[in-house]
Structure 1
Amino acid sequence: MSTGIALHQARVRYGPLEALHGVTLAAHPRGLTVLLGRNGSGRTTALRALAGTAPLSAGTVTWDGRDVTRLTPHERARRGLCFVPDRQAIYGTLTVRENLGLSAPKGDFAPALDAYPELRALLPRRSGTLSGGEQRMLALSRALLAPARVILVDEPTQGMSPAVASRTYELLMALAPDTCVITAEQRLPPGVRERASRAAVVVHELRRGEVVFSGEAAELAERPPPGP
C-alpha cells in the first residue's frame, strides 16, 4: 500500500539504552493506525520518532516518499503534522480559551467545543487546574482545530470516562478517512474493530523495542496470546 509516514529500520537511544531496535512500520495517508504495546514496549518512542522529538540514532523517517529524518519537529508541524504527547500537551498557566487560541488564532473554537462541550464552561479556567480527563480533552482539541495531514496522539483517552473515551475515538475515526491518524495505546480501544468498516485500521504491536505484529485490527483478535 502507499504510505503516508513511516519508520525504516529506526533506532532510538536514551543514553546507553536503546529503545527501538531497527523498527520498520508505516501508516496509510488516510486511516487510523494504532501502535500497541505495554509500557516500555517502544510505542511512545516510535510516535516521538515520527514527530521528530526523539532523534534517530540510525534509520530514516519518510513522509509522502520524502526523507524527513533531519527535519525538526517545528518543520514537520509546518508541513501539517500535529503531535499530542501523553504529558505536557497543554500550557497549564494559560486559560482554556488561550490554549485553544494557539490552534485557532481567529477565535473559531466551534469544532473543539462541539466535540467536547464540557470545555465551554471551562474557557476562563487556568488549564493546570483541570482534571486529567479535562486536560486530555483540551489537548485533543488541537488535533480538531489544526489543519493537520498527520495526527499523532499518545494515549488519547487517558483519564477520560468510558463515554468520553468512546466519543474521542468516534472523533478520531471521523478524521481518519481524510487524514493519517496514529495513536499509541496499551490495548486496542473498545469499538475500533467495529468501526473499521468506516476507515482503514492498521495495528502495529511493539514489544521490547521491536515490531511483533503488523496487520489489520481484525487479524489481531485471531492471534494467540503472547507468551511470558
Structure 2
Amino acid sequence: MTLSLREARVRYGPLEALHGVTLAAPGPGLTVLLGRNGSGRTTALRALAGTVAPTAGSVVWDGMDVTRVPAYERARRGLCLIPDRRAVFGSLTVRENLDLTSPAHGPALDAYPRLERLLDRRAGTLSGGEQRMLALSRALLGHPRAVLVDEAAQGMSPAVAARTYELLAGLDACVVLAEQRLPPVLRDRPALVYELRRGSVVFAGEAAEWARSRAGRATGRPG
C-alpha cells in the first residue's frame, strides 16, 4: 500500500503553498516530511488526509485516485490524521476520548502508562505533551491503515518522545510524520525522508542518506 501526492499544487487564496510536489509513502513503513515552518510539510500532510484540496495534481492511495474523496470518507477507509493542534476533544475526559475509538484501553495505557491516572481528567486540562499522548493513543486503538502525524512528540520529554517514535515506527501501517527535524531515534531506521523548502521537494531518499547529506553540508564536503 502506498499513499502519494503526484504533482500536487495547493493554494491558500493568492498564495501557492505546494508547487507540484510528488512524494510516495509506502506502507507498512515510515516516511518523514521535513522542513521549517512555511516549507509546505503540514500542507502536504493535509492534502494526503483530504483536509485541503489540491488545485492541481492528485492524491493516490493504494492505487486509487482519492483526490476528490472527502476527509471523512478517507477516515472511514482507515486513514487517521493527528494535527499539531486540537487533536483531542477538550471537553471530554481522557476515558471518553479513548472510548470514542475503543472501550478496550489496554494498548493505549501500555503505550503511555501516565494516562491511566488521568482517565477522569478533562482532556482540555492536560499539558501539551499529555494531549499528544492521548491523541496518539486513540490512533493506536483504531488500528488504522495510514497514520499522518504533525509534530508527533510536541511537548513531550525526550524519553517519552523516543518511545513515541519507536511506537510509530513499529505500526503495521503507512506512517507519515511532518517534522522540523529528523528525530535522532529514526536516523538509523529504514525510513524515507522528503525535505521540503518553500513548497518544493529538495531531497528524497533514505533517512541514513539524508543524515550523511546533512553532515556533508555542515562540513562543506559532499554527503
Instruction: Sort the TM-score into its range (normalised by shorter chain).
Output: over 0.9
Aligned to 2:178: 184
Q: Aligned partners of 2:211, 2:166: CA distance in 1, in Å?
A: 21
Aligned to 2:54: 56
Aligned to 1:74: 72
Length-normalised TM-score, structure 1: 0.93
Choose which of 3, 9, 26 in structure 1 pairs with 2:7.
9
Choose which of 155, 161, 169 in structure 2 pairs with 1:159.
155
Aligned to 2:134: 138
- Deviation for aligned residue 1:136: 0.6
Aligned to 2:106: 110
CA contact (8 A) 2:187 2:211 kept: no
Choose which of 170, 181, 190 in structure 1 pairs with 2:166.
170
CA contact (8 A) 2:149 2:177 kept: yes
Cα deviation, 1:49-88, whole Å, max 9, x if unaligned, reads 0000011111100011110000001100111101101011
Q: Aligned partners of 2:57, 2:86: CA distance in 1, in Å?
A: 27
Aligned to 2:193: 203
Superposition RMSD in Å: 1.3
Length-normalised TM-score, structure 2: 0.95
- Deviation for aligned residue 1:16: 0.8
1:39 paired to 2:37: yes
User: Any gaps of 5 or more consecutive residues in structure 2?
Assistant: none
Q: Aligned partners of 2:48, 2:111: CA distance in 1, in Å?
A: 26
- Deviation for aligned residue 1:193: 1.9
- Deviation for aligned residue 1:111: 0.6
Q: Aligned partners of 1:142, 1:56: CA distance in 2, in Å?
A: 28
Identity of aligned residues (%): 69
Cα deviation, 1:170-202, whole Å, max 9, x if unaligned, reads 111111xx21111000000011123x1xxx310
Secondary structure in structure 1 of the residue aligned to 2:124: helix
- Deviation for aligned residue 1:225: 3.1
User: Any gaps of 5 or more consecutive residues in structure 1?
Assistant: none
1:94 paired to 2:92: yes
